[in-house]
Structure 1
């Protein structure tokens, strides 16, 4: 075995390939074949999209677990521990299982170079195969067609919203990006499309390969119920019969993701009569409008890092606005659409803290971010050199009715979680 600890394996993986990202299935597929990897004994659902992938996986996992099914999940990135990426029946995978899997991959690959994400994807598939779960949920890392996850033929493909992000890799418009996401579809296997206005390329690609798309707003939908805070949902069963679920309590996640997950379950060739839909209310996903309390102050964590996600965050903040002030703590990656992230939120905050992420090379300088924000608003904009300083300063100025919103990237939320480890409480 090359290494004995998980950290040694991860450090080595980060340095053993010349680039962080190299899309393509040839190398990772060759290693998978050498390892005999197949998930044929389980039902597999692959989830791609710009936003909402993690939310969709979380809802599917919760509902399937409520019915007594064994479920394995692969998502990325992680926040605090690499082990978060693979969950087996709600538990993070152990260091030992990862170490053993990485060793099997290393032995099988020979001289084939693999990226950090490809190692992780192969490990997830390998561990899921050994776990023999009833259902396996795989979240695509980037795009779809050439993402390492796509070496697996899924029983159902779910495509969440399609918006502009990762233009250097996926294309500069929704039609190009849609074609990349459509790559996870399979002939004769159903596809669930969560976005209300998907690009035409999605249906074009579906027609080419012969797959049926279940489209949000046409084949399934949700609407406000009479009961306050409840939703009615309607969709189709696997044999084309209408299905209706009434007075559901949706979690604090995008309703489009919840709705798509509900339709996906109807198409899964497994009995679903034992699903406890009341468990929907308990779905909680780190960094997705996640409300927590620290020192009696409300903190909202959200990984919004592209224009569509920023617009959704602005909408949620407006819907939940109270009598106090709303304060932003933000750091973003320099290669993102900064204007597209900041502009939808410019009227959402009474004070801004632009944060420096010195240990993240891709991060935008806090001074440059503050300058951008200041050009769009007259409210106070502060520059902070560390998360610790920004968080402490923000908390010290907050009244009980105020709230702090931490957003802009996974790194921003992860940094805050690491700094405030053990200090958070569920929302009061």
Structure 2
């Protein structure tokens, strides 16, 4: 074995491929074939989209687990521990399991160079194959058509809401991006479009490849206020669920997860839909108490996600001020993010992310914020400094919104390692 410790493996993976991202299925597919990786013994659900992927994965996993099914989930990125990416029956893969998987991949790849994400994807498949699972849920890392998870044919493909993000790899047109996401569709299998305003390219791609597309709002709907969901089963017969609980995660993602559940060709009479009430996800309107103060953390890093966050802030009324702790990658639509959420923010705290080369500096970010907001702006050298400053100013009626990136939320989580009290 090249390394004994997982951290040593991860450090090596970060530097062993020429580029951080290299889309394509040839290299990863070749190694998977050499390793004999095969998930055909279980049902596979693949989830792509710009926003809401993690919420869909979490919702479907929770529903399946409530009925006793054995489920593996592969998601990315992680917040504090790499092990968060590979979860089997609600338990994270151990350092030893992941290291053993990396070793098997390293031996099988010969002279084929793999990216950090490709190593992780193959490791998840390796662990899932050994775990005798009923269902595997795979979250696409970037795009869909050329993403490493797409070497596996999904029984059900879900595409959540689509917006413009990752333009360098996917383009700056929703129709083009939609076609990339639709690359996970398969002929004769179900495809679920969770967004209510999808690009036409999703429908076109489904028709071209022969996938059976179900569209939110047309084929399935979720009235969260009334606790009612309607959709269809494998026989294309209408079904309806009532008395569903209020959910914490975005209703579009939850609704798509429920529809996927009913298309999996598994007995689901024992599913407990009430578990959705407690289904939450790190960094998705996650509410905590830090130093006795109300803190909301959300990874929102594009205008659509920021718009959703702004709506959540609007409907969850705050009696005091709303502070923002904001740090973001330089390649994002920063003006779009700021404009989406600015009406809900009373004071901005902008932080450098010194260990993240892609991040925009706080000083440059401040220039962008002042163009679009008249609220007070403070610049800080790092997340810890910003967090300490704003917490010292907050009263019991104020709230702090931490957003802009997984890295931003992760730094606050790292600072707040001690158990927090969920509000």
TM (normalized to structure 1)?
0.98
Other-structure match for 2:282: 286
Other-structure match for 1:380: 376
Equivalent residues in 2 for 1:199-348, closer than 5 Å: 199-225=199-225, 230-348=226-344
Maintained 8 Å contact 1:289/1:300: yes
Which SS does the other structure have where 1:61 is aligned?
Answer: helix
Following the alignment from structure 2 to structure 1, what is the Cα–Cα distance between the partners of residues 229 and 64?
18
Following the alignment from structure 1 to structure 2, what is the Cα–Cα distance between the partners of residues 165 and 21?
15
Maintained 8 Å contact 1:161/1:194: yes
Establish whether residue 193 from structure 1 lines up as the match of residue 189 from structure 2.
no
Following the alignment from structure 1 to structure 2, what is the Cα–Cα distance between the partners of residues 224 and 65?
22
Establish whether residue 71 from structure 1 lines up as the match of residue 71 from structure 2.
yes
Q: CA deviation at 1:379?
A: 1.5
Which SS does the other structure have where 1:390 is aligned?
Answer: helix
Other-structure match for 2:365: 369
Maintained 8 Å contact 1:294/1:423: no
Which SS does the other structure have where 1:143 is aligned?
Answer: coil
Maintained 8 Å contact 1:250/1:258: no
Following the alignment from structure 2 to structure 1, what is the Cα–Cα distance between the partners of residues 329 and 317?
27
Q: CA deviation at 1:322?
A: 2.1
Following the alignment from structure 1 to structure 2, what is the Cα–Cα distance between the partners of residues 386 and 24?
36
Other-structure match for 1:120: 120
Task: Flag structure 2 segments of 5+ consecutive residues without an equivalent.
Answer: none
Equivalent residues in 2 for 1:174-189, closer than 5 Å: 174-189=174-189
Following the alignment from structure 1 to structure 2, what is the Cα–Cα distance between the partners of residues 104 and 224?
46
Establish whether residue 426 from structure 1 lines up as the match of residue 422 from structure 2.
yes
Establish whether residue 155 from structure 1 lines up as the match of residue 151 from structure 2.
no
Following the alignment from structure 2 to structure 1, what is the Cα–Cα distance between the partners of residues 317 and 350?
22
Maintained 8 Å contact 1:328/1:349: yes
Other-structure match for 1:90: 90
* 1:95-116 deviations in Å (ceiling 9; x for gaps): 0100110010011000000000
Following the alignment from structure 1 to structure 2, what is the Cα–Cα distance between the partners of residues 423 and 233?
35
Other-structure match for 2:130: 130
Other-structure match for 2:387: 391
Maintained 8 Å contact 1:56/1:258: yes
Q: CA deviation at 1:247?
A: 2.2
Q: CA deviation at 1:321?
A: 1.7
Maintained 8 Å contact 1:304/1:408: yes
TM (normalized to structure 2)?
0.99
In 2 relative to 1, CA 163–121 (structure 1 residues): closer, same or farther, beyond 3 Å?
same
* 1:28-69 deviations in Å (ceiling 9; x for gaps): 000000000010111100000000000000000101000010
| RMSD between superposed Cα atoms in Å | 0.9
Other-structure match for 2:355: 359
Q: CA deviation at 1:224?
A: 4.6
* 1:188-239 deviations in Å (ceiling 9; x for gaps): 11001001111111111111111111100000001254xxxx5211110111
Other-structure match for 2:110: 110
Following the alignment from structure 1 to structure 2, what is the Cα–Cα distance between the partners of residues 252 and 355?
28
* 1:62-83 deviations in Å (ceiling 9; x for gaps): 0100001011000000000000
* 1:118-169 deviations in Å (ceiling 9; x for gaps): 0000000111111121110000000000000000001100000111001111
Which SS does the other structure have where 1:347 is aligned?
Answer: helix
Q: CA deviation at 1:367?
A: 0.7
Following the alignment from structure 2 to structure 1, what is the Cα–Cα distance between the partners of residues 394 and 388?
10
Following the alignment from structure 1 to structure 2, what is the Cα–Cα distance between the partners of residues 173 and 279?
37
Q: CA deviation at 1:295?
A: 2.3
Other-structure match for 1:20: 20
Q: CA deviation at 1:323?
A: 1.1
Q: CA deviation at 1:251?
A: 2.2
Maintained 8 Å contact 1:317/1:348: yes
Which SS does the other structure have where 2:354 is aligned?
Answer: coil
Task: Flag structure 1 segments of 5+ consecutive residues without an equivalent.
Answer: none
Following the alignment from structure 1 to structure 2, what is the Cα–Cα distance between the partners of residues 322 and 387?
23
Other-structure match for 1:53: 53
